[in-house]
Amino acid sequence: MESLMSILIGVFFAIGTYLILTKSLLRIILGTSIISHGVHLLIITMGGVKAGGPPLLGLGSTSFTDALPQALILTAIVINFATTAIFLVLSYRSYKVLGTDDTAQMRGNEDE
């Protein structure tokens, strides 16, 4: 399971990196969110996949999965949600103001 997850994470990172390296802002945003999924999967894989029952009361399991990585990725997802939202709004604003979503055309002169 862990090796399968590792391959999946690698695929996510590859796709995300490819997208971030493209010129269109929207693709860059998609790239960051795909990488973020890869990162979250990495955290949960590193914490150990399926080592016991779910860490809930009243299920009668004797061994429990480590709940900490799950708490960590929940927090990371929330933060990533906020960051992506800000990035999206920012790109939208700059598309409106600068009139392009191509990062190569955004470079512009420093003194304006």
Residues making contact with other proteins (CB under 8 A): 20, 25, 28, 32, 35-36, 39-40, 42-43, 45-47, 56-58, 68-69, 72, 74-76, 78-79, 82-83, 85-94, 96-98, 103, 106-108, 110-112
Contacts of 97 (CB under 8 A, 6+ apart): none
For residue 73, the 8-state DSSP code is: H
- Name the residue among 41, 49, 34 with its Cα closest to residue 72: 41
**Largest Cα–Cα distance of the chain, in whole Å?**
67
Nearer to other proteins, 62 or 110 (CB): 110
CB of 46 to other proteins, least distance (A): 4
Residue with tokens 């999946």: 8
Nearer to other proteins, 8 or 47 (CB): 47
Q: Which amino acid is at 41?
A: L
Nearer to other proteins, 8 or 106 (CB): 106
